[in-house]
Amino acid sequence: MTESESTSADPALPERLARAITLAGPIPLSQFMGAANAHYYATRDPLGARGDFTTAPEVSQMFGELIGLALTDLWHRADRPDARYVEFGPGRGTLAADALRAMGTVGLDPSVHFIETSPTLREKQAEAVPDAEWNVDLVGVPEDGALLVVANEFFDALPIRQLVKTGDGWRERLVACQDTLFLPIAGDRGFDQVIPPHLRDAPIGSILETSPAAVAVMRALAKRIVAQGGAAIIVDYGYEGPAIGDTLQAVRGHEYANPFENPGEQDLTAHVDFATLAEAARAEDAVVYGPVTQGELLVALGIDARTDALSAAAPERADMMRADRDRLVGAQAMGELFKAIVVTAPGWPVPAGFA
Query: Which residues lie near ligand SAH (CB under 6 A)?
Result: 37, 41, 47, 55, 57-58, 89-91, 95, 115-118, 121, 152-154, 157-158
**C-alpha 136 chain-centroid distance:** 15
Shortest CB 63 distance to ligand SAH, Å: 8
The least distance separating ligand SAH from the CB of residue 158, rounded to whole angstroms, comes to 6
Closest C-alpha to 297, from 234, 331, 340: 340
CB of 95 to ligand SAH, least distance (A): 6
Shortest Å, Cβ 120 to ligand SAH: 8
* Minimum distance, C-beta of residue 65 to ligand SAH, in the bound complex (Å): 14
Q: How far apart are CA 147 and CA 113, in angstroms?
A: 10
Rounded distance between C-alpha atoms, residue 329 and residue 63, angstroms: 10
The nearer residue to ligand SAH, 78 or 157, going by C-beta atoms, is 157
Compute the least distance from the CB of residue 16 to ligand SAH, in Å.
18
The residue at minimum Cβ distance from ligand SAH is: 89
Residue count of the chain = 355
Least Å from the CB of residue 304 to ligand SAH: 22
Strand ranges for the chain from DSSP E: 27-28, 83-88, 111-115, 133-135, 146-152, 161-166, 169-178, 181-190, 207-210, 230-239, 249-252, 255-257, 267-269, 272-273, 287-293, 338-344
If the CB atoms of residues 41 and 239 are measured against ligand SAH, the closer one turns out to be 41
| Residue with Cβ nearer ligand SAH (46 or 145) | 46
Residue 87 or 296: the one with the smaller Cβ distance to ligand SAH is 87
Q: Which is nearer to ligand SAH, 116 or 324 (CB)?
A: 116
Rounded CA separation 316/314 (Å): 6
Residue number with CB closer to ligand SAH (47 or 298): 47
205 sits in which H/E element:
none
Closer residue to ligand SAH, CB minimum distance, 37 or 262: 37
Count Cβ neighbours within 10 Å for each residue of 125-150 and write b for 16 or more, e otherwise: beebbeebebeeebeebeeebbbbbb
Peptide bond into 130 cis (omega under 30): no
